[in-house]
Chains A and B, each alone.
Chain A
Amino acid sequence: MRDHSKRRTRLRGARLLAIALAFGLIAAACGSDDDEDAAATTAAAAPATTAAAPATTEGADSLEGTKVTVFGPESSDEEAGALRDALDHFAAQTGIEITYTGARDAADQINAQAAGGNPPDIFIFPQPGKLADFARDGHLVALPADVIAAMNEHWTPAWTAFGDVDGTQYGIPNKSDLKSLVWYKPALFESKGYSVPGTWDELKALSAEMIANGDTPFCIGIESGPATGWTFTDWVEDLMLRFHTPEDYDAWVAGELAFSSDEVSGVFTEVLDLWNTPGMVFAAGGSIAATPFGDNGQPLVDNDCMMHRQASFYAAFIPEGTVFADGSADAVDTFYFPSVRGDQPVLGAGTLVGAFRDAPEVWEVMKYFGSSEYAEVRQRAQTERKGGGLSGFLSAATNQDPSVYQPLEQSFLSILQNADVVRFDGSDLMPAEVGAGTFWTEGTAVVNGDKTVAEATAAIDDSWPQ
């Protein structure tokens, strides 16, 4: 009995071994692909490292061959391409291998990456509010003193303050946008007898005059995929800064002045009254909510509308071949979005870099991101990639060589660097629930006529995290 069972077990053992062999072969067949891939990448990586070696500068020897990963929201060929060009320029100097990955929804993806424990070394934050969230959650590394010193060489306190979280510096500005701009065609204005408005009331009077003449004053569209509504928030922010004091603006952004307050809901109403005036807006199906924000450049060039309020980066959305501010008949130029109270406040925006890893090579790249050298190299590359037109890139870093910018871009820079009151895009500073959430969605709802201003502002206040 016992003997019998033993023989059966042995026989079964042999069978099991045969199965094991079969499994092993299958597994090896599947697995060998990876081995080949791994071998191929190692082989490919080797020459790249040696190629960078001769360019190594003194003092950076220890960083030869180190790797830094950068992740950010810029993903178009021109923007991400120019960013990579600028990083390659630094990589060639130092021997650091820098890889940039861009994704349109990077601001969403970074949450999962950080929570999953595999964040990039450096993330390009499109919103200071997000940078603050990450710093407070303990994901980011505070800047060391030497990096702060390097940053202060190139950036004024007005800009570095956006990377300051509760008194500790975490972020370095590396790109700036000027938002308080209205795009228009000077020659067309002249031929129609319109003059550039200097105050908000003049702007409204001008619009009424245009409507009376059968012209459509504004191109406006707020559709932007997952970020639909941000154009509306820009208008609200720009007007908040005009109808009220900078202090009110700061209180509003910090959550101390409610959306449902008379100040903020009054601005909502001001924007909507203007937009909803019959004949005011050139839009898809007559609906601002249905018009993609990027589709406003063509009608401006085609004279379908007279003006378009949008940031400096909008140059990238104006059809290729358009000339800018050279006095010719079809040239497109900008004027300052008029003020209400006489001061000249400026609404700005931009990106900040924050580090997830504390290593010398990471800090070198961080320093580079904050330098005027980065801005110049990037601007040159991006202008080239845009075929010589406006690049859409702008940096308020000081000590830059102004010749890399075209005259119109230089005027943006002088506005940015000389304005007394500069405030950052409010929705970018607010908590994500509001700034990338209800401010957009509820704003879209009021623009689409689904909600009243009172309902929408109350809903935004409700969503503000306690």
Chain B
Amino acid sequence: MAALWGAFIGVVISVGASAALFWGTHRLFALVERRWAIVAAVSGAIVGAAAGALLSGIRSGPESEPLLAGSQLVWILGGAAVGGLAGTVAGLRWPLSAARIGAVQSRLRALTFVGPAMLFVALGLIIPLLRTIYLSLFDKRGTDFRGLANYGEIFTNAQSLDLSGWSGIFGSQLFYGAVVLFALMAAIALYRGRRRGVRADFSPGTVGIGLGAGLLLSFAVFASLRGTVMNNLWWVVAVTFLSTALGLLAAVIADRVKRESLAKSLIFLPMAISFVGAGIIWRFMYIARPPQKNQTGLLNALWVWFGTLRPSSGGAWAAVAVLAAVTVLLAGLCAFGVRRRQTAIAVGSATAAIPLLWLIYRFVGPGVGGSVAGPNDEPIAGTILFVQESPYNNVWLMVVLIWIQTGFAMVILSAAIKAVPADLIEAARVDGADERQVFFQVTLPTIVPTITVVMTAMIVLVMKVFDIVRVMTNGNFGTQVIANEMWQRSFTEFNLGLGSALAVVLFLGVVPVMGLNIRRMQRGE
């Protein structure tokens, strides 16, 4: 009964307040016509008071005074007085011409509706943002001005930016792999160009090789140049690129299989798991147990089981037989591709065969997997410490986010592919285009805007990566990222200055991408 009564009172109050608000606005419209100077004075005072509150709010330290008291009140009243005076002067000085009444009224009306939303945006976003920027210029408790020293600390500290390993870039296998792929790309492009009579002709396939080379090169760079900032860039490059690429691949393939919705659901499923949950799940995937014990982490269990298949043991021969059968199958597929001039199939199957050949070699020769014979010939596991071994533990952490985000990219790109007008594709087919040409010259160019949207959304998300790193390593073992660093500085150490500076760096990194996205959206309208 009390609850019902309370609800009734709530309705009455809410209706009354809303009615008063709208009636007030309505009266305001009338006032605008007759008492322009008063309206100008009152709005000036309101704006002034808000500005005063804003300024005093941003300035106040951790031990803030009670609301609407002391210096805060002075700031607000001062702001109101100054604003009111300015409004009165302006209202008397520039009286409203009859022609502009309509314009002012429509502005007011818009403000009535947008105002409350703006107020909440200001409270929840703008004021905290300004205060964070303000705090980033101060020391740990926000009392002594330090200028840009906090920012200097971020970019001079070896923990956050360590470029001393740059020479290592040129010694890594990844670097040589990238060079070989770049050379391959150039060779193919030049060869095709000569056949067509141009300097160089980049087919989609060659561009793909180039992208792969770029990714390898970025891995070589990020594995050598270390530090928090570099880790963040690594995440952005690797996760954005791989999630989008895998998502696109899944979308294209799913488009052609029978049980499309089932396949897509399976890939999309990880999206339903929270980052923290995914981090915990993958910790179990990567976990290594003492060498004397059974391995319970899936990946290490597999790796150690491979190791127990000694060279030329029964299990190893069985594995070799299976692998050889698959390799023969792939070879047949490759030959088919060559005969039908389907380079994608030929190159794809040849590439897939390379790791299989390597595995066969390892099974027959030196053995594969992590297991060595102990003193009494009992197997002792040689586990992989996925999470502890720097710098590639970063990649194992990224796998978690790629696992989640591929589904997101796939769903959006799949929708875009389905939205490509059927007559476009039909026209291309009528003109004699094969599947590959249809995809690369009709479908892909049509969905490029969607790919851009997916990638920008992904960049913003990856830039802020926090949960996965916090759960899996908490930034230990060289996996620190800016968001987790910000958390530790701000909340564990309560260093407000440095924490805020890190937040601002992250914000500045995200803003250009957001801006790009918003611009694109507006152009799309």
Binding site for B on A (CB under 8 A): 9, 12-13, 16-17, 19-21, 23-25, 27-28, 31-32, 35-36, 38-40, 107-109, 111-112, 114-115, 117, 133, 137-139, 225-226, 228-229, 282-287, 289-291, 299, 304, 432-433, 436-437, 441, 444-445, 448, 450, 459, 465
Closest to B21 in A: A20
> Distance in Å from the Cβ of A27 to the closest Cβ of chain B?
4
- Report which residue of A19, A24, A38 has the largest number of chain B beta carbons within 10 angstroms of its beta carbon: A24
> Distance in Å from the Cβ of A13 to the closest Cβ of chain B?
4
Point out the residues of chain B lying under 8 angstroms from A445, CB to CB.
476-477
Complex Cα distance, B473 from A450, in Å, reads 14
Q: Given the known inter-chain contacts A28-B11, A225-B474, please indicate yes or no for A21 contacting B3, CB distance below 8 A.
A: no
Q: Give the interface size class of chain B.
A: 35 or more
Is the pair A28, B15 in contact by a Cβ cutoff of 8 Å? yes
> Distance in Å from the Cβ of A42 to the closest Cβ of chain B?
9
> Distance in Å from the Cβ of A167 to the closest Cβ of chain B?
22
Is the pair B476, A444 in contact by a Cβ cutoff of 8 Å? yes
Q: Given the known inter-chain contacts A20-B22, A115-B62, A225-B474, please indicate yes or no for A35 contacting B10, CB distance below 8 A.
A: yes
Complex Cα distance, B7 from A31, in Å, reads 8
Point out the residues of chain B lying under 8 angstroms from A450, CB to CB.
390, 477-478
> Distance in Å from the Cβ of A213 to the closest Cβ of chain B?
13
Q: Does B250 contact A (CB under 8 A)?
A: no
Complex Cα distance, B227 from A459, in Å, reads 14
> Distance in Å from the Cβ of A363 to the closest Cβ of chain B?
22
Of the candidates A9, A28, A299, A433, which one forms a contact with B7 in the assembled complex, judged by CB atoms under 8 Å apart? Answer: A28
Point out the residues of chain B lying under 8 angstroms from A286, CB to CB.
290-291, 383
Complex Cα distance, B23 from A383, in Å, reads 67
Enumerate 17 A-B pairs (CB-CB under 8 Å) in ascending A order: A21-B18, A24-B15, A25-B14, A28-B14, A32-B11, A38-B6, A109-B491, A138-B63, A228-B476, A282-B290, A284-B288, A285-B381, A285-B384, A289-B388, A289-B477, A437-B492, A444-B477
- Report which residue of B22, B63, B300 has the largest number of chain A beta carbons within 10 angstroms of its beta carbon: B22
Q: Does B30 contact A (CB under 8 A)?
A: yes
Complex Cα distance, B478 from A24, in Å, reads 55
Closest to A139 in B: B63
Q: Given the known inter-chain contacts A285-B290, A287-B288, A287-B388, please indicate yes or no for A16 contacting B22, CB distance below 8 A.
A: yes
Is the pair A24, B16 in contact by a Cβ cutoff of 8 Å? yes
Is the pair A285, B300 in contact by a Cβ cutoff of 8 Å? yes
Binding site for A on B (CB under 8 A): 2-3, 6-7, 9-11, 13-19, 21-23, 25-26, 29-30, 62-64, 140-141, 159, 287-293, 300, 381, 383-385, 387-388, 390, 470-471, 474-478, 488, 490-496
- Report which residue of A282, A283, A285, A304 has the largest number of chain B beta carbons within 10 angstroms of its beta carbon: A285
Point out the residues of chain A lying under 8 angstroms from B476, CB to CB.
228-229, 289, 441, 444-445, 448
Is the pair B22, A25 in contact by a Cβ cutoff of 8 Å? no
Is the pair B6, A32 in contact by a Cβ cutoff of 8 Å? yes
Is the pair A228, B474 in contact by a Cβ cutoff of 8 Å? yes
Is the pair B15, A25 in contact by a Cβ cutoff of 8 Å? yes
> Distance in Å from the Cβ of A140 to the closest Cβ of chain B?
12
Point out the residues of chain A lying under 8 angstroms from B21, CB to CB.
20
Closest to B13 in A: A28
Closest to A291 in B: B290
Complex Cα distance, B23 from A284, in Å, reads 71
Of the candidates B2, B13, B22, B492, which one forms a contact with A432 in the assembled complex, judged by CB atoms under 8 Å apart? Answer: B492
> Distance in Å from the Cβ of A115 to the closest Cβ of chain B?
4
Point out the residues of chain A lying under 8 angstroms from B30, CB to CB.
9
Complex Cα distance, B15 from A175, in Å, reads 55
Point out the residues of chain B lying under 8 angstroms from A285, CB to CB.
288-291, 300, 381, 383-385, 388
> Distance in Å from the Cβ of B186 to the closest Cβ of chain A?
38
Complex Cα distance, B496 from A12, in Å, reads 51
Of the candidates B3, B62, B293, B475, which one forms a contact with A36 in the assembled complex, judged by CB atoms under 8 Å apart? Answer: B3
- Report which residue of B25, B290, B488 has the largest number of chain A beta carbons within 10 angstroms of its beta carbon: B290
Point out the residues of chain B lying under 8 angstroms from A437, CB to CB.
488, 492-493
Complex Cα distance, B16 from A112, in Å, reads 38
Closest to B292 in A: A304
> Distance in Å from the Cβ of B391 to the closest Cβ of chain A?
10
Closest to A216 in B: B292
Point out the residues of chain A lying under 8 angstroms from B385, CB to CB.
285, 287, 290
> Distance in Å from the Cβ of B140 to the closest Cβ of chain A?
7
Complex Cα distance, B474 from A444, in Å, reads 11
Closest to A33 in B: B7
Is the pair B10, A32 in contact by a Cβ cutoff of 8 Å? yes
Of the candidates B3, B14, B477, which one forms a contact with A448 in the assembled complex, judged by CB atoms under 8 Å apart? Answer: B477
